[in-house]
Structure 1
Amino acid sequence: MIPPADSLLKYDNPVLIRSCTERKSPKGRPLKVSAQQPADSGPVPPPPKQKSASSEVTKQENEDILNSILPPREWTEGNQLWVQQVSSAPCTRADVICLEELLDTKLLQREAREAGICPVRRELYSQCFDELIRQVTINCAERGLLLLRVRDEIQMTIAAYQTLYESSIAFGMRKALQAEQGKADMEQKISDLENEKQDLLKQLNEQKAKCDAIEKREAEKRQMEEKKYTEEIQFLKRTNQQLKTQLEGIITPKK
């Protein structure tokens, strides 16, 4: 496993927990370093002064709370397991200024976006917030726990927005696919209607041609009938005139 990358969160020096290939003595026992001082090592230094029990308990509680808030990171390098805990050293104003400068430097080095969604910028600001939680927890564990709640709430809100964004993207893609499918159906329907329109126009033209032919035929027939009727009328008129003349000729001698 590759060692973890540098972080804005301040850690202590890594500690070797165990090695898979332990060195053994010729008798088959693992080599151990004796914790006792040799006899000729000189005078034993006086033990350190005992601190008050309450301060030791408070410090240990703060360290436990700090480790629960910001768990140590582990990695394997070769056959060795390394553990690195967050630093419990108190911070100063200079540390905060250095943290701000380091944040700006990493934002420039990793080319984080100034606006919009940027995983790099979010990661760096998350590390910076964890470092601030570490610094506050050392001085006041309760305040650190409260900041932890704020951090978790922010992360939960961001996760909710991310889920909403992903679901909206999926919804948009589904609607786009439905629109594409509906578009294909509508194009097919338009094509069918266009073909139907062409067929109807063809039938209309045929019916118009038939209608014109019928009108032409009926017009010719009507002209022939009118001519025929005109000739008959003229014939009847001439016949009537002749009969009238004959009738007048018959009537006139009698007078």
Structure 2
Amino acid sequence: MVATAASESLLKYVIPVLVSKKTDRKSLKARPLKLSTQQPPLSGPVPPPPKPRSLPVDANRQQDDEILNSLFPPREWEEEDQLWVQHVSTMPCTRTDMVNLQGQLDARLQQRQALETGICPVRRDLYSQYFDELIRQVTIHCAERGIQLLRVRDEIRMTVAAYQTLVESSTAFGLRKALQEQKGQADMENRISDLEREKQDLEQQVNEQKAKFEAVERTELERQQTEERKHSEEIQLLKRNIQQLKVTSHDRTEPLCSSRV
């Protein structure tokens, strides 16, 4: 029993077909076919060739199959040195098949835990398979309509891919900006730390200058008080000397006045 990937896809495939084996390929290489150039003698009358019969239905069916295979190329894989090929199914779909397909879609969404809203690659993959199956069913009945639906599918995929590229580039741009912001924030924090240290040094210098100014101010105030005290003492001394001189001069003038009298 060959395990195929068709059971994992909502797109309906036929039973896989064994194309070749590794041993067959080796035997073909070892024993090449030899064609004889001599024709056997004819022993009887040659029958007339059969007349070709017109089969428009089979021709149209073959053309539809070719279109379907071009829209959905067959799958090929190797398993145990055997080459298997699996074509997409050409059987039309009934209403029961559509109900079963819808049930399979819901079961796969729940089984693979697809998100109900937002961006979800799992849900996108399952709905893409679902849409391919719908295109296959439409193509069987009308190949032209299926080709147009395929164009719609490809356009949707290109639009989604463009949006995905835009989101990835935006995410990368945001990450770069975030890294730049982190780097700038680290530089700014270092700058703030340097400025805070410089501020502390300047405050310390200001405090030292204030202390020096207060010390000088106290010294000058003490010196000024000492000078004023000395000056007042000198003034008092001079005043006493002047008073004494006045008394002395007055005492000297009184005998002179009495002698004249």
Q: Same fold (TM over 0.5)?
A: yes
State the percentage of identical aligned residues: 59
CA contact 1:3–1:76 (8 Å) conserved in 2: no
On the 8 A contact 1:9/1:130 being kept in 2, the answer is yes
Larger helix percent: 2
Listed one character per residue, the Cα deviations across residues 196-235 of structure 1 (whole Å, up to 9, x for unaligned) are 1222122112111111110110010010011011112222
| Contiguous gaps of at least 5 residues in structure 2 | 34-52
3-state secondary structure, aligned to 1:22: helix
Contact 1:137 1:143 in 2 (8 A): yes
Q: CA deviation at 1:183?
A: 1.9
Unmatched segments (≥5 aa) in structure 1: 31-49
> 1-side partners of 2:111 and 2:208: how far apart?
79
Rg: which structure is higher?
Answer: 2
Instruction: Tell me how large the CA RMSD over aligned residues is.
Output: 2.7
The answer as to 2:149 corresponding to 1:147 is yes
Query: What residue in structure 2 maps to residue 186 of structure 1?
Result: 188
C-alpha deviation, 1:155, in angstroms: 1.0
Indicate which of 72, 84, 101 corresponds to 1:99.
Answer: 101
- The amino acid across from 2:148 in the alignment is L
Letter in 2 for 1:80: Q
> What is the CA-CA distance between 1:114 and the residue it aligns to?
1.4
- The equivalences for 1:28-177 within 5 A come to 52-53=55-56, 55-177=57-179
What code does the residue aligned with 1:132 have? L
Per the alignment, in what secondary structure is the counterpart of residue 86 of structure 1?
A: coil
Say if 1:250 and 1:89 are closer, same or farther in 2 by CA, change over 3 A. same
Residue of structure 1 in register with 2:231 after alignment: 229
Q: Aligned residue for 2:5?
A: 4
Q: Distance in 2 between matches of 1:239 and 1:29?
A: 155
In the alignment, is the contact (CA less than 8 A) between 1:3 and 1:77 conserved in 2?
Answer: no
Q: Distance in 2 between matches of 1:172 and 1:94?
A: 49
Between 198-207 and 214-223, the greater mean CA deviation after superposition: 198-207
Alpha-carbon separation, structure 2, partners of 1:29 and 1:215: 120
Counterpart position of 2:207: 205
User: In the alignment, which residue of structure 2 is the partner of 1:39?
Assistant: none
2:85 partner SS: strand
Tell me, yes or no, if structure 1 residue 214 matches structure 2 residue 232: no
- The offset of 1:80, in angstroms, is 1.4
Is the Cα–Cα contact under 8 Å of residues 4 and 16 in structure 2 kept in the other structure? no
Structure 1 residues 63 and 209: alpha-carbon distance in aligned structure 2, compared to 1, 3 A threshold: same
